[in-house]
Amino acid sequence: MAELREAIEDYVLALDREFGRSPNTCRAAHGDLTRFADSVEAAGPVDTSQLTLEDFRDWLWRENEQGHAAATIARRASVARRFTAWCHSTGRGDDVARRLKSPKVGRSLPRLVSEGQMDDIFASLRDRADSDEPSALRDLAIVELLYATGMRVSELCALNLDSLTPSASLVRVIGKGNVERVIPYGQPAARAIDAWLDRGRAALAGESSGDALFLGARGGRLNSRSVYELSRQLLQLAPGQGPSGPHTFRHTAATHLLDGGADLRGVQEYLGHADLGTTQIYTHVSAERLRETYKRAHPRA
């Protein structure tokens, strides 16, 4: 016997401490399961042993009626299946959501920035950094590193000073599931990082800085929200469809690597994907770009 909300808290704690899931994954699971609890407990507290498949189906139906996207519904169904599987494995109830189906979600191609557009973005960042203003030096180093390494924004914000090996132009990243990988970066990123460390970081550093590589305006570790805002501003220089967050630079880096002849397995390791199928989306991006070029340039297209 276990009260539902108590079980939710224990499950999210297990995601963090036992399974090594990212903070974003833990927050999303907590939010989704809390919404389910709000729905199923309209008449009072519920025990996990009382849950049924119909409870979850009714919840997802209401979520759909409220206009939530198919991708959101699919994620919540996945969270529900994992939650009841965990409840069953810990003796808190049956795995009632195992037959819960997710709506089909069309896989959209990620947003891509062309090499010319990236040149424009870097030119804008360098113009600002020429002032030696600390935040401008930091922003150039951030985007250079995002594009050079294809790392996730959460990985970037978690970097410490000792994550870098400047002599070899390598950065050590802790990815999903606490899996470590080492990624090389090129001379433009190296120069931008050196300038940030030499002339920018000390101006922002304070008691709360610790050994964080990138700092916010108040001297604490830079948060992902700030990187999202920076990306939104910069991607206005590269009009296109799709999200305008820092993942665009990750997508762009992977696609440019494949366009340049990189091996798909190598790109998988570079991005830290556990499944090669996740990486294969970038081959579709490259194919789409080739098709568009063919249509524009070939006389018999």
Each residue of 110-161: pLDDT tens digit?
A: 678 888 999 999 999 999 999 999 999 999 999 999 999 988 888 899 999 9
pTM: 0.61
The one catalytic residue among 82, 247, 251, 256: 247
Look up 247 and say whether it is catalytic: yes
Helices (H), the chain: 4-17, 23-40, 53-65, 70-89, 115-129, 134-149, 153-157, 187-195, 201-204, 224-234, 247-259, 264-271, 276-279, 281-297
Among 11, 185, 270, 282, the active-site one is 282
Say which residue the tokens 């009632």 belong to.
Answer: 96
Query: Of 30, 57, 68, 176, which is the active-site residue?
Result: 176
Please give the backbone phi and psi of residue 184, each rounded to the nearest 5 degrees, phi first.
Answer: -80, 155
- Active site includes 30? no
What CATH code is assigned to 4-99? Answer: 1.10.150.130
Is 147 annotated as catalytic?
no
In this structure, CATH architecture of domain 115-296: Orthogonal Bundle (1.10)
Which of 21, 81, 82, 250 is labelled catalytic? 250
Q: What is the CA radius of gyration of the chain?
A: 22
The pLDDT tens digits for 241-298 are 666 788 889 888 888 887 777 766 777 777 776 665 555 555 555 545 545 544 555 4
Amino acid at 107: R
Any catalytic annotation for residue 176?
A: yes
Q: Alpha carbon of 197 to those of 70, 123, 214, 237: distances in Å?
A: 44, 20, 9, 27
* Pairwise CA distance, residues 57 & 59, whole Å: 5
Residue extents of the structural domains in the chain: 4-99, 115-296
> Of 76, 111, 152, 256, which residue is the catalytic one?
152
Closest by alpha carbon to 195, among 126, 246, 124, 120? 126
Dig out the tokens for 8 from the structure. Answer: 């939710």
